[in-house]
Amino acid sequence: DIVMTQSPDSLAVSLGERATVNCKSSQSVFYSSNNKNFLAWYQQKPGQPPKLLIYWASTRESGVPDRFSGSGSGTDFTLTISSLQTEDVAVYYCQQYYSTPLTFGGGTKVEIK
Amino acid sequence: EVHLVESGGGLVKPGGSLRLSCVVSGFTFSNAWMTWVRQAPGKGLEWVGHIKSETDGGTTDYAAPVKDRFIISRDDSKNTLSLEMNSLKTEDTAVYYCTPEIPWFDPWGQGTLVTVSS
């Protein structure tokens, strides 16, 4: 099984500042046949289901603000919120879809400092 | 617009059974791989299992904690995904979400709460 490890568990960032969430997979999720990383990011606000933000590690879902970006390859990935807004307070999860069982990171709680 | 509506959750005793349903609209259900994901209270997301489209064989895969206890099925004529849960344990207490597997998960239903307690 591919284990997804997120860091930090939580972080507090001032409004307008950058927030960075890290995700590491226990084995590579890069598929050479299509040159893509099989990794997605989700945002979950309290009392709501998760919402897809990014897939293929760096492709932003339609309608997602461009302050959200994903980067990385192989085993190390990052979700960056370039300028934190009040509505970005949430828990963020990475997830690999390279192989079953499909697995999620433990989540990172982002709050306002 | 895509909609997914889960139902069937409730309180059940350990060792009991429950069947969840997920009715979908707004996309071609028969072409979709469908997944169940659960979230224990205050915890993270856990993949439960999925079912492939009939075109891709209609086979299922399960997470280890639920394998041999849970069964995922689909009725393409009714745009309905089901999760039959048997031999329930207290650790199965969670909100259960259904979602299409694109291969990422999007969108998600609102979920249905299953509580396993004596």
Q: What is the pLDDT of residue A109?
A: 98
Give tens-digit pLDDT for A46-72: 999 999 999 999 999 999 999 999 999
Q: What is the pLDDT of residue A80?
A: 98
Contact B59, B41 (CB under 8 A): no
Contacts of B78 (CB under 8 A, 6+ apart): B23
Question: What's the token pair of residue A75?
Answer: 């085993």
User: HSE of A79 in the Cβ direction (CA atoms, 13 Å)?
Assistant: 32
The rounded mean pLDDT for chain B is 98
| pLDDT mean over A29-43 | 97
Helix, strand, coil % over all residues of chain B, rounded to 5: 10, 50, 40
Any chain A CB within 8 A of the CB of B61? yes
Structure confidence at residue A18 as a pLDDT band (50, 70, 90): very high
- Measured in angstroms, the CA of B44 and the nearest CA of chain A are apart by 6
- Best mutation target among A36, A55, A59, A102 (most B Cβ atoms within 10 Å) is A102
